Amino acid sequence: MKIDAVCLGPAAVIDGKKAKTGIVKHPQGGTVIVDAAGLAGDAVCNRKYHGGPDQAVYGLGSLDLAAWADELGQKIEPGLFGENLVISQIDSRIIAVGDRFETESVTLEVTSTRIPCSTLSLRLNDPGFARRFRRVARPGFYCRVLRQGTLGIGDAVTYRAFQGPRITMPDMLGASVKTLSEEDRARYRAAPISARVRAQLDACAP
The pLDDT tens digits for 175-194 are 777 788 888 888 989 999 99
197 falls within a domain = no
The pLDDT tens digits for 120-159 are 888 888 888 888 888 999 999 999 999 999 999 999 999 9
180 falls within a domain = no
Contacts with 145 (C-beta within 8 Å, 6 or more apart), sequence order: 34, 35, 36, 38, 53, 56, 57, 106, 107, 108
pLDDT confidence of residue 78: 94
CATH at residue 88: 2.40.33.20
29 falls within a domain = yes
- Residue 27 structural domain: 3-174
Q: What's the mean per-residue pLDDT of the chain? A: 89
Single out the residue of 108, 161, 157, 105 nearest to residue 1, CA to CA.
Answer: 157
79 falls within a domain = yes
Contact 57, 37 (CB under 8 A): no
Number of compact structural domains in the chain = 1
| pLDDT confidence bin for 164, thresholds 50/70/90 | very high
Contacts with 159 (C-beta within 8 Å, 6 or more apart), sequence order: 1, 90, 99, 100, 101
